Amino acid sequence: MASITGAITEFRQLDLLANGNTSVHRIDARAKVLVTLAFILAVVSFGKYELAALFPFFLYPAVIMALGNLPVRHIARKILVVLPFALMVGMFNPLFDQTVLIRLGPLAVSGGWLSLASIMVRATLTVGAALILVAVTGFPAICHALDQLGMPRIFTVQLLFLHRYLFVLTEEGGRTARARELRAFGKKGLGWRSYGSLLSQLLLRTWLRAERIHLAMLARGFTGEFHPRRTTRFGTRDFLFLAGWSGLFLFFRLVNVSQLLGTIVTGGRG
C-alpha cells in the first residue's frame, strides 16, 4: 500500500508540471489530445517485426519534453514502472518464434526477439506520449478537451471524479494499511484475510463518501446536468501544431526514415 501512496504522490507531481507556462502548455488541449492520439495510432499500426522505423518517433517526445521544460528523468522513471507489463506481453515471443530474420555477422536474430524489442519500444513511446500529454496539459483540461471533442459527458465527468477522489481514496487506504501494519508487529498479521476486511471497509467508506458528495451536489442545485465553464479558442497556432505533428507522423509511418538515412550514409548500397 505504501508503494501505491508513493505512486500517487508521483502522479500528483506530474499534475503539478501541468501548471507550467511554456509554448507547449499554452497550446489548446484539444490539439494536444489529437496529436497524442495520432502519435499512438501511428506507432501501434506498424507490423510486428518493425523496429527501425519506430525510432524516428522518439523525435516527438524529445521535442515536447524540451519545449515543455519537463524533467526527463522523472518521466523516464514513470515509463520504467510500466515496462515490466509490456515485457510480460512479449516475454515468450523468442521461444515461440525462432525463425531467423536478420543476420548480423555471426549473430542470428530471430523474429521472436525482434517482435519483443518492437513491443518494448512501442510501449516506451506510447506510455511516454500519454505521460507527456498529462504533464503539459493537466488532467482536468484533458477531460474538458475530450468533452469538447464529443466524448459523452458522463464519461468525462466520471474521469474528473476519479482524478479528484483518487487522492482522497489512496490517503484513506494508506491510513488503513498503516493501522493494520502497526498492529501486525512485523509479522504478516492475519495474512490475506485481514486484507479482505480491509478492502471491504474501504469499499464501504467509499460508498458513504459518494453519498455525501452526492448530497453536497444536490445541496447546490445539481439536477444531473454538468455545465462546462470555459470556452477555449482553437487558434491558428493550435491548428499548425496539430497539422504539423500529424503530418510528420504520417510521413514517418509511410517512409522508413531510419532506412533512408542508412541508405544516404552508406551511399545507396543499404
Torsion of CA 103, 104, 107, 112, to 10 degrees: -60
Alpha-carbon distance of 178 to 188, in angstroms, equals 13
List residues near other proteins by CB under 8 A. Answer: 12, 15, 139-140, 143, 160-161, 163-165, 167-168, 209, 212-213, 215-223, 225, 227, 229
C-alpha dihedral sign at 262, 90, 121, 30: positive
In terms of CB distance, is 150 or 225 closer to other proteins?
225
For residue 9, the minimal CB distance to other proteins (Å) is 11
In terms of CB distance, is 100 or 157 closer to other proteins?
157
For residue 67, the minimal CB distance to other proteins (Å) is 23
In terms of CB distance, is 151 or 218 closer to other proteins?
218
For residue 155, the minimal CB distance to other proteins (Å) is 15
For residue 171, the minimal CB distance to other proteins (Å) is 9
Alpha-carbon distance of 179 to 93, in angstroms, equals 44
Amino acid at 185: F
In terms of CB distance, is 44 or 168 closer to other proteins?
168
Alpha-carbon distance of 145 to 136, in angstroms, equals 13
For residue 217, the minimal CB distance to other proteins (Å) is 7
For residue 144, the minimal CB distance to other proteins (Å) is 9
In terms of CB distance, is 80 or 218 closer to other proteins?
218
In the chain the first and final C-alpha atoms are separated, in Å, by 53
Alpha-carbon distance of 194 to 190, in angstroms, equals 5
Written as nine digits, the cell of 185 is 508487529
Write phi, then psi, for 58 (nearest 5 degrees). Answer: -65, -15
In terms of CB distance, is 140 or 189 closer to other proteins?
140
Alpha-carbon distance of 270 to 259, in angstroms, equals 8
Contact 52, 172 (CB under 8 A): no
Phi-psi region at 227: left, alpha or beta (left = phi > 0; alpha = psi -120 to 50): beta
For residue 64, the minimal CB distance to other proteins (Å) is 23
Amino acid at 206: T
Q: Which residues 6+ apart lie within 8 Å of 158 measured at CB?
A: none
In terms of CB distance, is 45 or 225 closer to other proteins?
225
